[in-house]
Amino acid sequence: MRGLQEVVVTRAPNARSKQGTLGMKFRLQTNYFRLERKEQPVIFQHHVDFLPPVEDVRLRQAMFQTQRPVVGPYIFDGMQLFLYNKLSSDEVELQVKNPYSVEPCKMRIRRVGTVTMTSEKALQMLNLMQRQAMASLKLIQLNRNFFDPAEKISVPKYNLELYPGYITSIRQHEHDILLGVQITHRVLSTETVYNKYRKMLSMAGGKACHDEFKKTMIGTVVMTMYNNKTYTIADVDFSTTPSSSFKLANGDLITFKLYFYSTYNVKIVDELQPMLVTVPQKGRKHAEKTEPRMLVPELCRLTGISEEMRKDHQLMCAIANHTRLTVDQRIKRLERFNARLLNDLESHQVFSYWKTELDRRLMDVPARVLAQENLYFGRRDLAVPAGPNADWSAACRSSGMFKTEKLLNWCAICPDTDAAEGYLHEFIQHLTTVARGLGFTIAQPMVARASNTVSAYLDKLRSLVNRDPQLILCVVPDDRADRYRMIKKLCCIDRAIPTQVLRVRTIMPNVKYVHHVRSVATKVAIQLNCKLGGIPWMVKNPLSSLIVIGYDVCHDTSMADRSYGALVATMYGERATPEPRFFSCVEPHAGGIELSSFISTGIAKAIRAYQNVFGSDQLPRRIFFYRDGVGDGQLEHVVKHEVNAIRERLQIGAPDRLRLTFFVVTKRIGTRLFHNGNNPPPGTIVDDQITLPERTDFYLVSQSVRHGTVSPTSYNIIHDESGLTVDQLQAYTAKQTHLYYNWTGAVSVPAVCQYAHKLAGLVGQYLHQAPNERLDRHLYFL
């Protein structure tokens, strides 16, 4: 829900109905409000220039506001101007005053066209109108979103403030124009970046401080206090200070100190502090691109949650207590926001002037819930319902696993202390006991100890690798990334040995939770079986001769211009057997190179793997491709390039034999669904009213959550040759959410997507190159 979103038509004009009928019907509330146009007038659109240029959008808006008596009511985003009133001529020039400059300023208004309320441009105008209405509610704007300082929550123990806010979007949905409202929060530090720098300087001066400060700042997001904008930090420049000069767009030299004073009326105290280098802002359209890419630490506040903060369980709980809203709390916030928009005089006048009426009620929509999925464990003929919460933890412990391997030749390594080795032996005892109950045979491992240094640990690990075990269990003293990286590189690249890494504290007995170690042992036993080729549980598979593929992309944390595309496939042969075979591969992707060629190459590898398993003369009839990781603005590219590249590759090997169905999977969406003040049940499908007319799309709630509000997942079927009904595609997608073996419950996306996400993360963060191909038939990355 970020402003005007892209409208990419992926649905044919004569396409069949996209509404299914399977399941029990009921109704849900949503976080949308209807927006009705009382009239359909013509609106005049203009382009506004400032001479000399004014870089800050909000300053341009403030300067334009002084001309309201001349132009009348308006909508202005800093460059585009919309008016009901027709100006005296097609081009008007007005004198305006810049409060931060003595130089006279002109504002040139040029008419560029008209907007009818049935056009796409009208939706952009309505979004700007909505933002204008919100501006009257005494909210502060951070980037594109609005936050309520009156409702801010202080967390003084951690020097944090939480600002509740709103993300809004007006869009044409299936039958109506709807205003979507998402409740959000912004985490802000009460300290400036300069405060952080001074603290580090007091603890360790010189190069050590510089290195640590740079390491801490790179990748963080800061908010500038003079214009409430956020920037990502790319570097720290210790050779540049506020007294340094830079060149303006007109060629003039100016110091940073003078620039910030003349532009934003802010004074900089410490002229010797280093400068923060920002990542270039993509998509910023106006004159901000002429701003310096340097920021002053003194004028910046840290935002968001750092990795260090995420490791602090108490801190994360303190934040979650305020940000994780129950359904009832979320509904009340939405209704309160709606009431403020309608009852505030200025806001009401904005809606009224632009002939627009906002409904007071949350929109309700038709929905369906599918029957509970049946799962099959050790007793393959016994169907076990997934349960009302799609959680089968108890059933898994008592029913055994669907298919098990034998772990007979394996090793375990732990820190070089008697305590750590004692915890390990006790854990192995629990592990073998629970594995026996799951039908999984685990022999006693060879146990080795290694000192805590990374090099010593790696040396000991190499000696174990040379024994060619089936698997190595690595118990580590802490979560040091370099140690984890070396373990995974040695065993996933140099060799092809599955590993399981656990911290000592994870396997330690817990006096408060006596079943802790046994619970961990159960999860580990399931993972070990998967990594060896076993299958914990299955659902009934109604389709044969099929490859189901999940695809995700992860950026390389060590190389800014490199990414990795991870593909994970489950393959079903000609006979409709419930037991799939797995395949995975990773393709590196350098910046500027077309991603579609890598995707089509990965699919070709999956087809070859299918033939290796089921016979060289065998080809799948259908391929379901679930594409995750499609960001804002990328849908058109996926439709035009990725789908076509895959189809062309499929035509090479088997013209007209391979039927492709391409789903775009989106988890990070603003849509929320409510059922009688609670979350909707797992298996809920919505495919009308809040869906989009240009798409064959649906929302699926596949999982349950213990706290807060569940988030549905959006599925957009952008290409379909399957010959299956909408009901069949929706139901099969729901089935796939039950097959992620790292969790004894349904997940928010098809399992292959979650597997691809795990694999892409492993490679992008730790391996930095494709894994050993001898691992590609197992779920070694769990």
| DSSP state letters, 149-175 | GGG-EEEGGGTEEEEEEEEEEEEE-SS
Name the residue among 122, 131, 116 with its Cα closest to residue 177: 122
CA 729, 734, 738, 743 dihedral sign is: positive
**Residues in contact with 13: Cβ distance below 8 Å, sequence separation at least 6, in sequence order:** none
Residue 346 in contact with residue 136, Cβ under 8 Å? yes
In angstroms, rounded to a whole number, what is the distance separating the alpha carbons of residues 565 and 586? 6
- CA–chain centroid gap for 181, Å, is 18
Mean residue pLDDT across the chain? 91
Catalytic residue among 552, 688, 720, 776: 552
Neighbour-count burial for 763-772, b at 16+ CB within 10 Å, e otherwise? bbbbbbebbe
Positions of the chain with pLDDT lower than 50, given as ranges: 1-3, 283-290
Question: Is 404-532 a CATH 3.30.420.310 domain?
Answer: no
**Token pair for residue 763?**
């490679």
In angstroms, rounded to a whole number, what is the distance separating the alpha carbons of residues 751 and 739? 5
H or E, element range at 327: helix 327-343
Residue 677 exposed, middle or buried by CB count within 10 Å (0-12, 13-18, 19+): exposed
Parallel, antiparallel, or unpaired: how do β-strands 546-555 and 622-627 relate? parallel
In angstroms, rounded to a whole number, what is the distance separating the alpha carbons of residues 553 and 561? 13
H or E, element range at 216: helix 206-217
Name the residue among 106, 178, 71, 67 with its Cα closest to residue 671: 178
**Residues in contact with 306: Cβ distance below 8 Å, sequence separation at least 6, in sequence order:** 220
Residue 731 exposed, middle or buried by CB count within 10 Å (0-12, 13-18, 19+): buried
Let me know if 418 is a catalytic residue.
no
The pLDDT value recorded for residue 92 is: 93
Domain positions in the chain are: 404-532, 538-775
Let me know if 628 is a catalytic residue.
yes
Q: Three-state SS for 654?
A: coil
The pLDDT value recorded for residue 581 is: 95
Tell me which residue has tokens 């005089």: 345
Name the residue among 675, 670, 509, 642 with its Cα closest to residue 567: 642
Other residues' Cβ atoms within 10 Å of the Cβ of residue 24:
12
Other residues' Cβ atoms within 10 Å of the Cβ of residue 399:
21
Residue 86 in contact with residue 139, Cβ under 8 Å? no
The pLDDT value recorded for residue 1 is: 45
Catalytic residue among 556, 628, 697, 776: 628
**Alpha helices per DSSP H over 390-515:** 393-399, 418-437, 454-465, 481-489, 504-507
**Token pair for residue 270?**
């410490």
In angstroms, rounded to a whole number, what is the distance separating the alpha carbons of residues 729 and 685? 12
Length of the chain: 782
Residue 273 in contact with residue 223, Cβ under 8 Å? no
Name the residue among 627, 630, 632 with its Cα closest to residue 602: 627
The pLDDT value recorded for residue 6 is: 67
pTM: 0.90
The pLDDT value recorded for residue 286 is: 39
Peptide bond into 99 cis (omega under 30): no
The pLDDT value recorded for residue 140 is: 85
CATH architecture, domain 538-775: 2-Layer Sandwich (3.30)
Using one digit for the tens of pLDDT, what is the confidence trace for 492-540? 999 999 999 999 999 998 755 657 888 999 999 999 999 999 999 999 9
